[in-house]
């Protein structure tokens, strides 16, 4: 028994949903969806929960995360209710629910807040750079003198720590919402979590479910982007001392081509997404929120500024290198803000976990069916 709440629909609309009202629940969208199943009959069930105002039900669901927005549903919907866009909005709303600070809600629903946060981030970086930078050596490029790598690394680690804290606490809340019902835990056996853990890694790395959607090209482009971004992240957070050095390595050295490759991957993936958004080529790109635009743009800026640092250094332009380095840091900070509370890419984390939870539950059910079957055949 749940009580209807007509306000929920309006709340989700603040997160960018359009046309939910028009849906007359025919179910065509769910029928056409390559990823929906009997247990996860999205997008219609998500739309229905919203129409009828079942916040608490939607909050517990994995469904929004299981959608990769191929847009088949929106193309099929006879009412123009844009189910795919509702799924997108539902993901934003879920992210905001997982975020206990309430910041994410503000950043999603208010442009002022979103831009304000980016400006604040940029100012912090600029301020820190102004306060903490080392001497500007101008006769040759000495980046590590201007920005001592240990200091930057420390900053990276602190930022990564903060970010991880937010994301992990979000993940914890996701876990609780999903596995606690009416104040009671409904947990599958721990053993299944362990045995199925490889699925988590597998899905994070391959995004394999995405390929089930039509459009392999999009999956590949998406995958390239994820890889470029992932490897850059790892390089910066874990191996910065190795990566940021005033030593000039030969071009075949991995220190150089790994960086270039990652940058190119990001530029390719992000421009692809950006172009599609501009041309509204794909269903999922018909409606764009501020964060949807910022994201690819920041990524491209990040990669380009990264490449420029390297270029200016090899060209022996000290000041240009230092300035572009600071700009690079500013962009990075803005991206962190996006990844963190603003959460567009929080899905990087939530989605594989949703798939993981789904698999774990299925496995657990299979096992209990087997047990039940064994019991009944023993009768």
- Sole binder of other proteins in the list 55, 79, 256, 282 (CB under 8 A): 79
Q: How far apart are CA 309 and CA 232, in angstroms?
A: 15
74 binding other proteins? (CB under 8 A): no
Q: Which residues bind ligand SF4 (CB under 6 A)?
A: 23-29, 44, 47, 76-77, 79, 81, 83
User: Is 209 a binder of other proteins (CB under 8 A)?
Assistant: no
35 near 43, Cβ under 8 Å? Answer: no
> Which of 35, 52, 224, 237 contacts other proteins by CB under 8 A?
52
Tokens of 32: 């056409």
> What angle do the packed helices 149-179 and 83-98 form, to 10 degrees?
110
State the Cα–Cα distance between residues 21 and 29, nearest whole angstrom. 15
Query: Which of residues 82 and 272 has its CB atom nearest to ligand SF4 in the complex?
Result: 82
Q: Across the strands, what pairs with 306?
A: none
Binds other proteins by CB under 8 A, chosen from 12, 17, 23, 294: 23
Least distance (Å) between residue 62 CB and ligand SF4 = 19
The nearest distance, CB 33 to other proteins, in angstroms, is: 16
| Using rule CB under 8 A, residue 3 touches other proteins | yes
How many whole angstroms separate alpha carbon 349 and alpha carbon 351? 6
Name every residue whose Cβ is closer than 8 Å to that of residue 47 and which is 6 or more positions away in sequence.
20, 23, 25, 29, 81, 83, 86
C-beta closer to ligand SF4: residue 214 or 366: 214
Nearer to other proteins, 52 or 258 (CB): 52
By C-beta, is 4 or 131 nearer to other proteins? 4
**By C-alpha distance, which of 276, 337, 322 is closest to 130?**
322
Q: Using the rule CB under 8 A, is 49 a contact of other proteins?
A: yes
In the complex, what is the shortest distance from the CB of residue 25 to other proteins, in angstroms, rounded to a whole number? 5
> What number of chain residues touch other proteins (CB under 8 A)?
18
DSSP-assigned letters across all residues of 236-259 = HHHSHHHHS-SS---TTSHHHHHH
CA 156 – CA 166 distance, rounded (Å): 15
Contact pattern for other proteins over residues 217 through 256, marking x by CB under 8 A: ----------------------------------------
Nearest to 161 by CA among 345, 306, 336: 336
In angstroms, give the least distance from the CB of 315 to other proteins.
60
Q: Does 9 bind other proteins (CB under 8 A)?
A: yes
> Is residue 37 at the binding interface for other proteins, with CB under 8 A as the rule?
no
Provide the β-strand partners of residue 331.
none
239 binds, among ligand SF4, other proteins, none (CB under 5 to 8 A by kind): none
Please classify residue 186 by burial: count the beta carbons closer than 10 Å to its beta carbon, then call 0-12 exposed, 13-18 middle and 19+ buried: exposed
Q: Compute the least distance from the CB of residue 36 to ligand SF4, in Å.
A: 11
Interaction of residue 56 with other proteins, rule CB under 8 A: no
Partner that binds at residue 21, options ligand SF4, other proteins, none, CB closer than 5 to 8 Å by kind = other proteins
3 state DSSP class of 136: coil
Q: Are 247 and 259 in contact (CB under 8 A)?
A: no
Q: 301: which residues sit within 8 A by CB, 6+ positions away? A: 331
Q: How many residues are present in the chain?
A: 379
Cβ-based nearer residue to ligand SF4, 25 or 255: 25
Q: Which partner from the list ligand SF4, other proteins, none does 182 bind, CB cut-off 5 to 8 Å by kind?
A: none
Distances (CA, A) of 25 to 48, 329, 337, 376: 7, 48, 37, 39
- With respect to other proteins, which residue has the nearer C-beta, 17 or 117? 17
Residue 184 has φ and ψ, to the nearest 5°, of: -125, 145
Q: By CB under 8 A, is residue 61 in contact with other proteins? A: no
**274 touches, from other proteins, ligand SF4, none (C-beta below 5 to 8 Å by class):** none
Residues that bind other proteins (CB under 8 A): 1-4, 6, 9, 21-25, 45, 48-49, 51-52, 54, 79
């Amino acid at each position: 028994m749940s009580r209807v709440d007509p306000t929920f629909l309006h709340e989700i609309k603040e997160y960018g949903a359009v046309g939910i009202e028009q849906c007359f629940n025919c179910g065509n969208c769910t029928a056409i969806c390559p990823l929906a199943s009997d247990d996860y009959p999205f997008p219609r069930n998500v739309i229905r929960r919203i129409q009828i105002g079942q916040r608490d039900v939607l909050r517990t669901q994995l469904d929004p995360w299981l959608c990769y927005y191929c847009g088949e549903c929106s193309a099929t919907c006879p009412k123009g209710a844009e189910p795919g866009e509702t799924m997108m909005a539902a993901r934003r709303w879920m992210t905001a629910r997982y975020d206990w600070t309430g910041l994410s809600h503000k950043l999603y629903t208010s442009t002022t807040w979103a831009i304000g946060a980016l400006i604040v981030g940029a100012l912090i970086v600029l301020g820190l750079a102004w306060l903490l930078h080392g001497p500007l050596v101008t006769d040759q490029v000495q980046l590590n003198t201007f920005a001592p790598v240990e200091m930057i690394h420390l900053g990276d680690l602190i930022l990564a720590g903060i970010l991880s804290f937010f994301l992990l606490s979000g993940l914890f809340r996701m876990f609780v919402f999903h596995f606690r019902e009416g104040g009671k835990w409904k947990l599958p056996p721990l053993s299944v979590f362990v045995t199925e853990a490889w699925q988590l890694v597998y899905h994070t790395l391959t995004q394999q479910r995405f390929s089930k959607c039509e459009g392999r090209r999009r999956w590949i482009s998406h995958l390239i982007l994820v890889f470029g971004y992932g490897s850059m992240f790892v390089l910066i957070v874990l191996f910065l001392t190795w990566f940021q050095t005033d030593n000039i390595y030969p071009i075949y050295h991995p220190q150089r081509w790994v960086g270039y490759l990652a940058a190119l991957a990001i530029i390719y993936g992000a421009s692809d997404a950006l172009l599609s958004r501009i041309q509204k080529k794909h269903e999922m790109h018909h409606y764009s929120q501020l964060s949807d635009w910022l994201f690819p743009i920041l990524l491209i800026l990040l990669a380009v500024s990264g490449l420029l640092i390297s270029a200016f250094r090899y060209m022996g332009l000290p000041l240009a290198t230092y300035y572009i380095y600071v700009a690079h840091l500013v962009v990075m900070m803005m991206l962190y803000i996006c990844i963190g509370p603003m959460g567009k890419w929080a899905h990087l984390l939530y989605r594989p976990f949703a798939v993981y939870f789904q698999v774990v539950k299925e496995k657990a059910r299979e096992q209990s069916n087997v047990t039940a079957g064994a019991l009944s055949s023993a009768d």
